[in-house]
Amino acid sequence: EQIEKGGYEHFMLKEIYEQPNVIKDTYRGRLSSTTGIIKMAGIEDNIEKFLQADRILIVACGTSWHAGLVAEYIIEEFTRIPVEVEYASEFRYRNPIVNQKDVVIAISQSGETADTLAAIKLAKEKGAFVFGVCNVVGSSISRETHAGAYTHAGPEIGVASTKAFTTQITVLTLIALRLAKAKGTLSKSDFFRYLNELELIPDKVQEALQTNDEVEKIAKIIKDTNNSLYLGRGYNFPVALEGALKLKEISYIHAEGYPAAEMKHGPIALIDEHMPVIVIAPKQGHYDKVVSNIQEIKSRSGKIIAVVTKGDTQVKALADHVIEIPETSDALSPLLTTIPLQLLSYHIAVLRGCNVDQPRNLAKSVTVE
Ligand code: G6P
């Protein structure tokens, strides 16, 4: 097992550090930023289904559901195709409205999650075209779907999903770009800008991993908290949910993820000097709005930990701690902002003596209801 961990103390840490390589593996051979060609057999063979679809429905569970939420923002922005994201467990039991004009994308790391599998079967019965985004080759979901695209994350052993999440977002971004190209919904310059940006992501993830020591220091300061709040807007709202889920899963600290602006409709009541609030505030996107959310937290004495773009000054002046990550476009920022949040949960869990790779009550793949 020590050999499998490749010198890392835990599988989770190893998998966090594998992300620059596996993100590259996931887009390698599928995209050329010089010619603008994006090639994925499962998409090419079925592109008409996507182009004629009234909408795309995404079904998934857990972290894969969060990747689906990021994809909703990306696909709608790039392609203008309406997207809905559902928990597979809800979808399967509510007599959902699905028909032949729908494309369903099922996202699953393991390809074995019982609820996702059942949702796929139901969507097929109702005549939808079902596309899988799985990590495990030959898994039940990859066999049950009409077509699909694999993430090339390699085996993920840690129960808390890390590299599966970022590679799922990578595949879904490629799909969105391919569809945008076919539909002409992105300008040529934006299209190529995103391709180029995507190719820079692995190096930028590498740079984001260099926040590790800083993140560990912050972990030491907040490790004894009982509660925490994660806030983000736009593309980074799902990252807030994922950051909170990661912390809950492995450190057993109560964590809530919220859209930053929605805070005033509830969670703001929880904020006092004991409440760490982790705010995702990259320069792109709704920066000014997030800054005013940070001011609201500060005026209530919340402890602010902010993930910011390198060189930021405004948030730095307000926050108790900042974690700096490289700049990228708003749509691709989840691939970077999520990195320090993974590290933060990891270090807090280690400091609390938790079983990081096998947290209590959780399973890597949930094959029963
Ligand atoms: C379990 C795992 C999570 C995972 C979820 C969905 O809860 O612990 O890490 O996100 O199942 O799994 P899937 O394999 O379908 O992505």
- Which atom of ligand 1 approaches the CA of 63 most closely? 10
The first and second tokens of residue 12, run together, are: 């989770």
CA distances from 353 to 213, 242, 362 (A): 18, 22, 17
Place of tokens 């590679």: 167
55-68 b/e (C-beta count within 10 Å ≥ 16 → b): ebbbbbbbbbbbbb
Residue 304 sits at φ, ψ, to 5 deg, of -100, 125
Query: How many angstroms does the Cα of residue 140 sit away from the middle of ligand 1?
Result: 14
Q: Is the pLDDT of residue 234 over 90?
A: yes
pTM for the full predicted model:
0.97
Residue 105 near residue 358 (C-beta atoms within 8 A): no
Query: How many angstroms does the Cα of residue 136 sit away from the middle of ligand 1?
Result: 12
ipTM, interface predicted TM-score of the complex: 0.98
Q: Choose the residue to mutate in 107, 113, 165, 245 for probing ligand 1, maximizing ligand atoms within 8 Å of C-beta.
A: 113
User: Active site includes 364?
Assistant: yes
Give the model's confidence band at 35: pLDDT under 50 very low, under 70 low, under 90 confident, else very high: very high
Angle at which helices 163-183 and 19-27 cross, to 10°: 30
Quick: pLDDT tens for 133-181. Answer: 999 999 999 999 999 999 999 999 999 999 999 999 999 999 999 999 9
- Which atom of ligand 1 approaches the CA of 62 most closely? 10
The first and second tokens of residue 52, run together, are: 């004629």
- Which atom of ligand 1 approaches the CA of 64 most closely? 16
Query: How many angstroms does the Cα of residue 61 sit away from the middle of ligand 1?
Result: 6
Number of other CB atoms surrounding residue 366 within 10 Å: 16
| Mean local confidence (pLDDT), 333-341 | 98
Round to whole Å and give the CA distance between 183 and 177: 10
Round to whole Å and give the CA distance between 209 and 60: 27
Query: How many angstroms does the Cα of residue 219 sit away from the middle of ligand 1?
Result: 25
Q: Choose the residue to mutate in 89, 133, 249, 364 for probing ligand 1, maximizing ligand atoms within 8 Å of C-beta.
A: 364
| Mean local confidence (pLDDT), 328-343 | 98
Give the model's confidence band at 368: pLDDT under 50 very low, under 70 low, under 90 confident, else very high: confident
Query: How many angstroms does the Cα of residue 169 sit away from the middle of ligand 1?
Result: 15
Place of tokens 């010198």: 7
Quick: pLDDT tens for 196-214. Answer: 999 999 999 999 999 999 9
Beta bridge partners of 228: 255
Identified catalytic residue from 126, 183, 283, 364: 364
pLDDT of residue 369: 84
274 burial level (CB within 10 Å; 0-12, 13-18, 19+):
middle
Q: Is the pLDDT of residue 122 over 90?
A: yes
Nearest to 321 by CA among 330, 329, 312: 312
Number of other CB atoms surrounding residue 196 within 10 Å: 12
Q: Choose the residue to mutate in 365, 367, 368 for probing ligand 1, maximizing ligand atoms within 8 Å of C-beta.
A: 365
Ligand 1: lining residues by beta carbon, under 6 Å:
61-64, 108-110, 113, 116, 159, 161, 362, 364-366
Q: CA gyration radius for the chain?
A: 20
Quick: pLDDT tens for 49-102. Answer: 999 999 999 999 999 999 999 999 999 999 999 999 999 999 999 999 999 999
Three-state secondary structure call for residue 308: strand
Continuous segment of H or E residues that includes residue 307: strand 303-309
Round to whole Å and give the CA distance between 81 and 186: 12
Q: Read out DSSP for 51-112?
A: HH-SEEEEEE-HHHHHHHHHHHHHHHHHH---EEEEEHHHHTTS-----TTEEEEEEESSS-
CA distances from 118 to 68, 87, 93, 168, 331 (A): 17, 12, 10, 20, 31
Residue 73 near residue 82 (C-beta atoms within 8 A): no
- Which atom of ligand 1 approaches the CA of 249 most closely? 8
Three-state secondary structure call for residue 130: strand
Residue 348 near residue 223 (C-beta atoms within 8 A): yes
Query: How many angstroms does the Cα of residue 365 sit away from the middle of ligand 1?
Result: 6
Using CA atoms of 287, 291, 296, 298 in order, give the dihedral in degrees to the nearest 10: 140
